[in-house]
Chains A and B, each alone.
Chain A
Amino acid sequence: MSIEDLMGAVSTLEGALGKAFLAERVVMRGQDLHHELGKKDWLSVFMYAITGKEFTENQIRYLNFMWVATSYPDAAIWPNQVTALAATARSTPSLSLVAGLAVSEARLYGRKPDRRAMDFFYRAAKKIDEGEALEQVIEAEVAQRKVVFGYGRPLVRLDERVAHTLNVISELGLDEGRYFKLALDVHRYLKKTRGLSLNIAAISASTMADMGLSTEEYQLFLTLVFVAGMVPCYLDAKRRKEGSFFPVTCDGIAYCGPPERVW
């Protein structure tokens, strides 16, 4: 970007996706927030904000279910525990929730595997379109990346969300999409060859791919997905004595560093 271009951007932002004409009106992606979007439910507006697209009633019901189904009010879950720790330390409600949400962008769970699972389905479908067999695509993925995101061993990956989610997808008629079918095909192959089973990440990513979301749009949708489960964790820690959420004794630190030494 040239200095001239930067100078031009100092005092103007053209082509913005939204604007608040304060005391008058608000526009989001070409629609009046109060007159047009105000008639919709919040989730539909959220999806419109992310994608600029409108979704069917059944799709929105499914998206709503995804949020409900991940609202685990259990303080043992790491992001929730962050919220509970903030509460026991008597931080503020907003900081408590924001801290929990921030750590949800994790490598072992949450946003990173979510994105990679969706990315796999897009790459796999492209290769299939180019003439590769599904088996070839999966084997190449395993050879190159060691894992296929969204698939794991059923015994350690048992997830109660799977059955409920599959049921909802069927009930809402969302089980005919290309990527969801691909997810099941990948499951069948990995089950047969490696004893691996699809998990909730594969189901969610593939169905969201069927709705046409990009990986970034998918992450934006998921960012707040744990928040309802965090609230009870906050309240639970808040109603107890301060500092009493799983306190740790000095002996609770198992030290494995160098022995005592002189500075």
Chain B
Amino acid sequence: MSEPFKFHSAVWYEEPESDNPFVARRCLAHGYDVYGEVIRKSSWSEYILLLFSGDKPCRQQIVLFEKLAIALANPGPREPSVRAAMNGGVGGSVDAASLIAALAVGAGQYGGSHEVFLLVKAWQRLGRDLSKWKEYLSDPNQGYQEDVWSPIEHPPGFDPHGVSCPTPVQQSLSLLGDLMPESNLGWLRQNRENLEHMTGFPLAMTAVAAAAFSDLGLSGSQSIMMYLMLRLPGAAVHALEQENLGWKKFPAYGPAIHLSDDPGAFPMPDISRFEL
């Protein structure tokens, strides 16, 4: 009867300890002995890329991944997913809830992982064909079908509220493009201004991330997972920071919220009999 309760995996193999079938003696990731060999010989980045792709990454991929991880690690306390985590932190929510809040908000289509997903899928379809990209960006919801994801409200990879391409985006794109010149990143660096002119919006970090993920050979869904994970450090540190700073130093938006349909005040119930 145990057969129906097996999990199938091409990623992970475990050999049990002789005295306990529920404890692994050896764990293999894509065939490599994690605790016997990988932990001694590999970096964290190398191991993560192995887990996702199934193969040992080359030096170029490792460096690209590490630099991308730095670019994404902390979007800063103004960014919605980090702000969500800070709302958890300041109220003393369980720490996991702060990260869950960051994941839920950071999953979105305005600077979030679903925007990255759309772009990685576009890289797979369009390659480095400028005219096809222009066609896509002019109508990114072509062929949209009803979904839990609404149609995107701006050309993916561009900041709908932006004026010019932010310096950190340019710096990141420049460095990552240098690391892999004959790549989607290199092509994006070359064509950034052209695309910005066409869309009317400056390039955003989501575009840099998506180009990098596609250069690393990640699928759309793998890119979502990676993007969400790589941005969690910022959410974590800012949530913890706000918890330490306390609620008195946290913005209170109450007075800034105004109704358009207000029935006005009703009298409070008479509770004088309770002598509170």
Contact = CB atoms under 8 A, between A and B. Distances in A.
A112 B28 CA distance: 36
Nearest to A35: B266
A9 to B, nearest CB: 9
A13 B147 contact: no
B112 to A, nearest CB: 15
A31 B261 CA distance: 8
B100 interface: yes
B39 to A, nearest CB: 10
B133 interface: no
Given A13-B257, A19-B257, A250 B16 contact: yes
Interface string B1-39: 010011111111111100001111000101111000110
A143 interface: no
A30 B263 contact: yes
Contacts of A11: 256
Dominant secondary structure at the A interface: mixed
B12 A116 contact: no
Contacts of B197: none
Contact of B262 (A27, A94, A105, A219): A27
A3 B147 CA distance: 31
A249 B16 CA distance: 8
A36 interface: yes
A145 B147 CA distance: 14
A263 B32 contact: yes
A181 to B, nearest CB: 21
B175 interface: no
B164 to A, nearest CB: 11
B67 interface: no
Contact of A32 (B2, B14, B97, B263): B263
Contacts, number: 146
Interface residues of A, number: 58
Interface residues of B, number: 53
B260 A257 contact: no
B160 interface: yes
Contacts of B260: 14-16
B9 A255 contact: yes
A247 interface: yes
A263 B148 contact: no
B161 to A, nearest CB: 5
Nearest to B3: A254
Nearest to B260: A15
Nearest to A215: B146
A112 B149 CA distance: 9
Contacts of B265: 24-25
Given A254-B8, A263-B32, A95 B96 contact: yes
Contacts of A145: 145
B16 A257 contact: no
13 contacts: A3-B163, A13-B256, A19-B254, A27-B259, A29-B261, A30-B259, A35-B266, A92-B94, A98-B100, A250-B22, A255-B13, A257-B12, A263-B41
